[in-house]
Each structure stands twice: as structure tokens, then as C-alpha cells.
Amino acid sequence: MAMEDVTGRPPPKSVLPMSPIGWARRNLFSSPGNTILTLASLYILWLTIPPFLDFTIFSAVWTGTTREACLVPDAGACWPFVWANIDQFIYGRYPPSEIWRVNLTFALGAAVIIPMLIPGLPARKLNLVFLLIVYPLVALVLLAGDRPGLPPVPTSEWGGLLVTLVVAITGIVASLPLGVLLALGRRSDMPAIRMLSIIFIEFWRGVPLVTVLFMASVMLPLFLPEGFSPDNLLRCLVGVALFSSAYMAEVVRGGLQSIPAGQYEAARAVGLTYWQAMTQVVLPQALRHVIPGIVNTFIGLFKDTTLVLIVGLFDLLGQVRAQLSDPNWTVPQGALTGYIFAALVFWAFCFGMSQYSNFMERRLDTSRER
């Protein structure tokens, strides 16, 4: 190949900052096939974005106190429906005079969980103990009441985001320790314990959550002694906890597998017992590696909480459905408005958590490279 003298020539074009037209030519219209793809994408965007914005913003009804406000021809989303029912969406039928208890529980929860999520803060162990043991008890007393100064609120009056959060957080708090135990059991060298763990994990992972909830609400009472009938919410919580502990066990097992056997052997060699070696050497490393996996399990659980409406509990989605059948608010665009609102709330929660999981993944990756 002939050699060319390139000294004194301007640098290749791509090094220069590109003009928007140059960028578009390179990224959108580089070949006929690419141009077709770009045009098709633009067409899809044109089909979806303008109608969506028109419905939710430009043609939407923003003010009003009754359904009449939304009965305008060609009106978009009926936001007054959401404003009027926002208390039901958050608290369900929780007595309005007692709502401060729910708010206090939410605030306490945020105060416990947020420091857990920030890497590098001190006193994490204390915080974890508080989250796993103290907080659930405090929340139970606050929400259910039946203490001096706290009139009882039966769970049938709980609803909305409150139930969503109660189910999701109970699920995760119960499934973490259970999942760790099951994962250890599955990797144990005692055959009976290994077999039992495998059967338990594979059973719960093999059946849909809907059947688990059906089981909890119709079959479980038959297995309990007469007169001992926990309410529907508690039965569902048990079902959700067992179900998610199987998934959590598989996540933790992945973490345990990523720790070289030498760590455990060395710990045993310096005289630690099995439990000491696990809790002080292996698990702290393994759990750190699977924080993204745990967060992803939690996202799945958070979305799955909607299924409790099938067995008659009112989570956020169930509450939206219930308010939709309210004759005071029957408007043609009601269903679409309600579901878009619920979708936005769920999306914000799940997207936030998945961004956090990505952030932790990047952080853990760099620490592993070192």
C-alpha cells in the first residue's frame, strides 16, 4: 500500500465537534436502511407522544370539584377525579382523624430506610436491626392501634398506597432473613437440610403468586385451629413473605457462590464456628455483591403487591378501581385517567429503585476492580 504524507493536513472530521446536521447524518441517516428506521421511529413517536400529551395535559380538565367539570366534549384526562380521591388512594378507608398515624409511620420508615441506602454512612448494623425488628413492631402498633390513645383500626379499612407499602415492606423485611437461611440451607452439606431447602425454594418459585394468594385466603384457614383466624391482610402477608423468600434465597445464593471457598475455609481455620464464619466473613461480602439483585427482587415484589386486589384487599390499584365505580365520578375518560395516575405512581417508585440499583451496581463494580 502506498504511504501518504499527512503532515499539515487538517485532522479527520470526526474529531471536530459535529454540527447538528452532521450528527443527524451520521446517527440517523447513514444508509437507506437507517433512514427508513429513523422515519419509522419518528412515525411511532408522532402516533404516541402528541395524543398522550394532549390527553394528559392540553385537553385535560384540571380544575373542578364534581364530575360535571369533566363532562366537556373532547375533554382529556379528568384530573379532578384524582384530586377528589387522593386521600383514598393513599390511605384507603383509614379514618380521617387517625391519618396522622399513617403519616408518622411513613415518615419513620423514610427516616430508617434512607440512611440505609446511602453508602458509607456509619452505624449501618444498628440501622439494619432497627429496620428489621424495631420498625415493623412500631409500625404495627401505630397502624393497627388498640393501645391507649390509639383507637383500633381494622385492616379492612386500610387501603391504597398504605396497603401497597405494607405488603411490599413486610415482604422484603420477612424475606431477607428467611431467604438467607434458605440459601445457606441450599448450600449446606447436610443432605436433609439441602433437600428441604431445595423443595421449599422450587415449590414457591414454580407457582404463580395468584395461586399463593388464593391459597392464603381460602385454603390456609382450613389448616389453622378453630377460632384462630388471622385476618385477610395478615394471611396474604404470610403468603407474600414465603413467596418472596424463595426468590430472595436464589439471589443470596448467587452472592454466596461468588465468594471463593477459601474465605470460608480460612475463617474455619482460624477457629470460627460455622455461624461465625458465615455471619462475619462470608455473608457480609456476599450480600454486598447482591444489593442490586435484592433491589430488583424488591421492585418485582412492589409491582406484585397489586395482585392482592384479586383476593379482595385494596392496594393502590385496587383503590383506584374502587373509586372508578363511584357513581359520583363516572365519566367516560375516568378509567384512562385513573390507570394513568396509578401507572405514574408505580412507575416513579420502580424507576427510582431501578436507578438506585444501577447506581449500586456501578459502585460495586469499581470497588471490585480495585
Partner 1 sequence: MARGQGQKRGTATLNWYNPRVRSIFYQTVVLVSVIGIVWFFAATAQENLERLNISSGFGFLDTTAGFGIIQTLIPYSEQSSYGRAFLVGLLNTLVVAVIGIVLATLLGFFIGVARLSRNWLIAKLAAAYVEIMRNIPLLLHLFFWYFAVLRPLPGPDNSLTPFDGVYLNNRGLILPAPVFDASAAYFFASLALALAGSVFLIRWAKSRQIATGQLFPAWRTATGIVVLLPALVWLIAGRPFELEFAERDAFDYVGGMRLLPEFVALVLGLTLYTAAFIGEIVRAGIQSVSKGQIEAAAALGLKDSTTLRLVVIPQAMRLIIPPLTSQILNLTKNSSLAVAIAYPDLVAVFAGTVLNQTGQAIEVISLTMAVYLTLSLLTSLAMNWYNARIALKER
Interface positions with partner 1 (CB under 8 A): 27-28, 30, 34, 37-38, 40-42, 44-45, 189-193, 196, 203, 205-211, 214-215, 218-219, 221-226, 299, 303-304, 306-307, 309-310, 317, 321, 332, 335-336, 339, 342-343, 346-347, 350-351, 354
**Dist CA 193 CA 181 (whole Å):** 11
CB closer to partner 1, 174 vs 309: 309
Nearest distance, CB of residue 99 and partner 1, angstroms: 25
- For 268, how many CA atoms within 13 A lie in the half-sphere containing its CB? 8
Tell which phi-psi region holds residue 17, choosing left (phi > 0), alpha (psi between -120 and 50) or beta: beta
**Dist CA 316 CA 322 (whole Å):** 10
Nearest distance, CB of residue 340 and partner 1, angstroms: 8
Nearest distance, CB of residue 140 and partner 1, angstroms: 25
Listing DSSP states for 315-358 in one string gives: BHHHHHHHHHT-GGG--TTHHHHHHHHHHHHHHHHHHHHHHHHH
CB closer to partner 1, 90 vs 112: 90
CB closer to partner 1, 127 vs 263: 263
- Taking each helix axis as running N to C, give the angle between helix 291-304 and helix 232-257, from 0 to 180 degrees, rounded to the nearest 10: 160
CB closer to partner 1, 143 vs 304: 304
Nearest distance, CB of residue 136 and partner 1, angstroms: 23
Nearest distance, CB of residue 301 and partner 1, angstroms: 11
Contact 248, 178 (CB under 8 A): yes
Nearest distance, CB of residue 214 and partner 1, angstroms: 5
Q: Any idea what DSSP says for residue 224?
A: S
CB closer to partner 1, 82 vs 309: 309
Nearest distance, CB of residue 350 and partner 1, angstroms: 4
Looking at the DSSP bridge assignments, the partners of residue 160 are 315
Amino acid at 55: F
Looking up cell 375516568, which residue turns up? 334
Nearest distance, CB of residue 354 and partner 1, angstroms: 7
φ, ψ of residue 46 to 5 degrees: the values are -65, -35
CB closer to partner 1, 27 vs 257: 27
CB closer to partner 1, 105 vs 305: 305
* Chain centre to alpha carbon of residue 179: 17
Strand, helix or coil for residue 61: strand
CB closer to partner 1, 132 vs 336: 336
**Dist CA 95 CA 27 (whole Å):** 57
- Report the 10 Å Cβ neighbour count for 297: 22
